[in-house]
Structure 1
């Protein structure tokens, strides 16, 4: 993807998410953020079976779909939950909901681009990167981001990754297929191969992909977003 295409994709994604956060409350029924992904909470419980206090990083956190439920689960411990997002609306929203759900004492909201976010070495026990790594600029940036996340993870720590792959978009009213505006649109098989290669030596806890379809207001015309949602969870040995 060239620079102009990347900027167009980044602008479209930012506009869609900013508008969505402004017009929908966290956990609103009928939206994609009505509840956390079960795998995110399942992997958290896997860690809590052996450790009471955790350092958690939620990349591409939005307004807290996962950050808030994780923080609620850890609220009575001396844990730390950091949510990172590029959008002001997301960071401001996370701070608002952390107060509303009374978890602001352990939640830190950080504005940063995932592609360039510096991760402290050997620091985190749990890193969730849900629907964010496909928003880096290219394959090299994708692999470099994973390298940083791995270096920032303690032994026994878990990474929980979801990615939209094989993305297709079409206009709902006309059925016309359009060129997807997403920064890194990997074929599912290639994304799996890259993750398996990057996480060689880690224990794979979950690997699956399912078809997902969402109606969006991202362009001038309402569109249908279709992808293979890749779910990948691994534990550092």
Structure 2
């Protein structure tokens, strides 16, 4: 299998998994990985609100709104806007429905698009969220290009909140076999962190850590533990 075939196989596998997961589980359902928003996302939102009353927010790889909806709820009563972008058409439609259910449809805009090729206007956003998103691109070069686009699209004082799965492996709970994770871009933690440090050398890095993570999944009709080192990287534009 060549590199392009491997990418397409990983892209289809990830799409199938997320499609089924969103069909089987409600947003904020206890016991799932979308039971609550990312704590660091909400922490950085509060940091921004110390200095601004209204925010323009972009949530890349938003899914059905795990982060989008709570951010929009916090921004109720303002002229803020929260835009969610995801590859899956069904996820985007579910996000729109969730925004209506939680009473934030007037703040939320949802768009189906491949994040890797998504255009971001310059100086458009105060807060860009890219949680479990950048590992679903085609190459390291694509990640670097996307980070450049994100940086150019951020207002002075704006914040990027990034989480990225690295060193991904899949442990088959039935057979006991462990194999490299079938994900579009499976980087080593050290490589990914070095890239992020290089890209954000002119920004203020607020958070940089790596934590081992294991999530039970049913993927490609297998019962697996999705194991990875999860990078959390948060940086603020200061010049």
Above 0.5 in TM-score? Answer: yes
3-state SS of paired residue (2:221): coil
How many angstroms apart in 2 are the aligned matches of 1:80 and 1:226?
34
Partner in structure 2 of residue 166 of structure 1: 167
Q: What is residue 215 of structure 1 aligned with on the other side?
A: 216
| Counterpart check, 1:6 vs 2:7 | yes
What's the counterpart of residue 32 of structure 1?
33
Contact 2:168/2:180, CA 8 A, preserved across alignment: no
Counterpart of 2:189 in structure 1 is 188
Match of 1:229 in 2: 230
* Residues 164-195 of structure 1, C-alpha deviations (whole Å, 9 max, x = no match): 01111121111112231101111111100000
Aligned partner of residue 70 in structure 1, secondary structure: helix
* Equivalent position SS for 1:57: strand
- Could you tell me which residue of structure 2 aligns to residue 133 of structure 1? 134
The 2-side partners of 1:183 and 1:4 are apart by 11
CA drift at 1:218: 1.0
CA distance in structure 2 between the partners assigned to 1:65 and 1:221 by the alignment: 25
Counterpart residue number, 1:94: 95
Map of 1:54 onto structure 2: 55
CA contact (8 A) 1:22 1:89 kept: no
Gaps in structure 2 of 5+ consecutive residues: none
Cα distance, 1:134 vs structure 2: 0.3
Contact in 2 for aligned 1:172/1:223 (Cα 8 Å): yes
What aligned pairs does 1:118-129 form with structure 2 within 5 A after superposition? Answer: 118-129=119-130
**Equivalents in 2 of 1:186, 1:88: separation in Å?**
27
4+ residue segments displaced more than 3 Å? none
SS at match of 1:222: strand
Deviation at 1:88, TM superposition (A): 1.3
Residue 98 of structure 2: SS of its match in structure 1? Answer: helix
Rounded Cα–Cα distance in structure 1 between residues aligned with 2:193 and 2:111: 29
Equivalent pairs, count: 237
Are 2:138 and 1:142 aligned? Answer: no
The answer to whether the 8 A contact 1:207-1:233 is kept is yes
RMSD: 0.8
TM-score of the superposed pair, with normalisation by structure 2: 0.98
Distance 1:220 1:94 in 2: 26
Tell me how far apart the structure 1 counterparts of residues 104 and 77 of structure 2 sit (CA, whole Å).
9
Equivalent residue number for residue 76 of structure 1: 77
Question: Secondary structure at the residue paired with 1:144?
Answer: helix
Could you state the TM-score of these two structures normalised by the residue count of structure 1? 0.99
